Amino acid sequence: MLRATDVSFAYRDGSPRVIDGVSIAIERGDLVGLLGPNGSGKTTMLKLIGGMLRPNQGSVEFEGRQLANWPRRDVARRIAYVPQETRAPFDFSVLEIVLMGRFPHLGPFALEGPEDLAVAKRALEATATSAFTSRLFHTLSGGEKQRVVIASALAQNPELLLLDEPTASLDVGHQLEVQQLLTRLNRDANVAMVLSTHDLNFAASLCRRLVLIRDGRVLASGPTEQVLTPAAVRALYDVNADVHMHAGAGHLTVTPISRA
């Protein structure tokens, strides 16, 4: 579905490359985690995949066409993005925020019709946020906001959903909720997902494939069970860790032991 080939990117001419020759392929219905230390280029890579940034070198192709040549509106009908944190400086209601996801489907002067409202309602139900519909967005907790923004992204009807640190500011309970929500959306709505995260256990519980990024380069990539090893954790974070299959959770768990 999406193929990034040998992508390099620097924020300014002459400044060091944040992304340096990365290739990633994402298939329909995929669930891919980008792992890497702070400043490794995960967020930048997500924005390159979403066409919000254009690579200096290499190419990002979506369905065989160069993403850089697509109008933004066309991209937004297929790829949605959930930033790490969303703040609303004005008093938007939850429904208003979710309806904004319909923007790429509407003409320049068109107003949302009943169909758009129906899509928004479905997105609210899918993220279990229907109860907040008429609440003001800025009065919600961090976890609730995150789910509402995911609902807004779903209202775009995307084939690919990009999430930047979806659990960064959430407590364990809300992390689990987001994990289950994303698993369900991926399975039932067949939305492919790429997410960046610091949380190795979250990634292990959710992602079928992992891409390990350090200093803008790919260290390893492949199925979660094969990629997530003590050696990989050491190479990525300079940390000695214990990695084993947790029988109760049914996925790999990582316990950091010491600085390598």
Partner 1 sequence: MQHVRRRLIVTTAGFGGLLLAALVGAPLLGSTSISLSRVFERSIPFADNSDAQIFFVARLPRVLAAALVGGSLAMAGTVFQALLRNPLATPDTLGVSSGAALGAMLAIAFHFDFAIAGFSSVSLSSLLGSLGALAIVYMLSTARRRGLSTTVLLLAGVTMTAFFSALILFVQYLTNFADTFRTVRWLMGMLDVGSYTPLIGALPLIAIAFGLVATLPRPLDLISLGADAAAARGVDVQRAERLALVSASLATGAAVSISGPIAFVGLVVPHIVRLIVGSDHRLVLPASALLGASFLIGCDLIARTMFAPIELPVGIVTAIIGGPFFLWLLVRRT
Using CB under 8 A, which of 101, 186, 206, 210 touches partner 1?
Answer: 101
Task: Report the nearest approach of partner 1 to the CB of residue 83 (Å).
Answer: 5
Helices (H) and strands (E) in the chain, counts: 9, 12
Total binding residues for partner 1 by CB under 8 A?
A: 42
Q: Where are the alpha helices (DSSP H) in 100-239?
A: 114-126, 142-154, 172-188, 200-206, 224-227, 230-237
What is the rounded distance in angstroms from the CA atom of residue 249 to the CA atom of residue 199?
Answer: 15
* 143 part of the interface to partner 1, by CB under 8 A: no
Contact map string, positions 23 to 62, toward partner 1, x by CB under 8 A: ------------------------x--x-xx---------
* 238 part of the interface to partner 1, by CB under 8 A: no
Q: Which two tokens stand for residue 111?
A: 């107003």
Type of residue found at 231: A
Task: Report the nearest approach of partner 1 to the CB of residue 210 (Å).
Answer: 23
User: Is the CA virtual torsion 28, 163, 81, 19 positive or negative?
Assistant: negative
What is the rounded distance in angstroms from the CA atom of residue 245 to the CA atom of residue 249?
Answer: 8
Q: Which residues bind to partner 1, rule: CB under 8 A?
A: 11, 47, 50, 52-53, 71-77, 79-81, 83, 86-93, 95-97, 100-101, 103-104, 106, 108, 111-112, 133-134, 149, 152-153, 156, 162
